[in-house]
Amino acid sequence: MQNGRTPLMVASIEGYVDIVKMLVEARTNSINKQNEDGFSALHLAAQHGRADVVRVITEALAHVDIKTKDRQTALFIASEKGHRSVVELLLLHHADVDICSEEGWTALHLAAQGGNVEVLRLLMEAEANTNVCTEDGNTALDLAIWRGDGTSVRLLTENFADVNIKYMDGWDCTSTWQHSTERRVDV
């Protein structure tokens, strides 16, 4: 077991759905067992975009909100990677959209930072809080603005992202948008 990985974790990474089913059915591995970094088979399947594996694991009643050592959930990881189908499955199994990492980041922050508009839309349909600030004082809207991502900015503001939240340095979303003119796009 390298890095504390179980056979279920390895099969999940590789996307071997039939093997995952066998291991889950045989109960040879604890479905929620975590490696040295706190990653479970669900985290690893989400990270690699293995929707079929995520389906098997969630249907076997894995804890969808289990956290890694730095407080990441599978939803957090799938949102960062832009794995839309994995995000859909996790939301279907009631993953908490507003869990924060150690630094205060949510799945919505990571979807906005990565420009993953479809994932952003799914998270907001699941009623993600658009105004959560990271420990650095950034909201998902701020991250979309810094990217110059007009589509995400529009989507966030249409879903009640507060454009008047002040950063720790006193800037607000409007001044940030004006400052990032080299990357400005039409909204």
At residue 171, the pLDDT reads: 45
What per-residue confidence (pLDDT) applies to 97?
Answer: 97
Round to whole Å and give the CA distance between 126 and 130. Answer: 11
pLDDT in tens, 49-90: 999 999 999 999 899 999 999 899 999 999 999 999 999 999
Amino acid (1-letter code) at residue 137: G
Amino acid, single-letter form, for residue 75: L
Out of 1.20.1260.10, 1.25.40.20, 3.40.50.920, 3.30.70.580, select the CATH number for domain 1-96.
Answer: 1.25.40.20
Q: What is the pLDDT of residue 27?
A: 76
Mean pLDDT of 42-48: 98
pLDDT of res. 166: 66
Query: Could you tell me if 64 and 73 are in contact, meaning their C-beta atoms sit under 8 angstroms apart?
Result: yes
Q: Model confidence over 101-158: pLDDT tens digits?
A: 989 999 999 999 999 999 999 999 999 999 999 988 899 999 999 999 999 999 999 9
pLDDT for residue 6:
92
Two tokens at 21? 């089913």
**pLDDT, position 102:** 87
27-41: average pLDDT? 88
pLDDT value of position 168: 53
Is the pLDDT assigned to residue 29 strictly greater than 80? no
Q: Which DSSP string do the residues of 2-34 spell out, in sequence order? A: GGG--HHHHHHHHT-HHHHHHHHHHT-S-TT--
For the chain, give the number of residues.
187
Taking the C-alpha atoms of residue 126 and residue 62, their distance in angstroms, rounded to an integer, is 20
Is the pLDDT reported for residue 172 higher than 70? no
Whole-structure pTM value: 0.85
Higher pLDDT, 136 or 28: 136
**Does position 165 have pLDDT exceeding 80, yes or no?**
no
Domain 105-187: CATH superfamily, name plus number: Ankyrin repeat-containing domain (1.25.40.20)
pLDDT of residue 173: 41
Closest CA to 78 of 110, 32, 117: 110
The CATH 1.25.40.20 domain(s) of the chain lie at 1-96, 105-187
Between the alpha carbon of residue 163 and those of residues 79, 170, 178, the distances in Å are: 23, 13, 13
DSSP 137: S
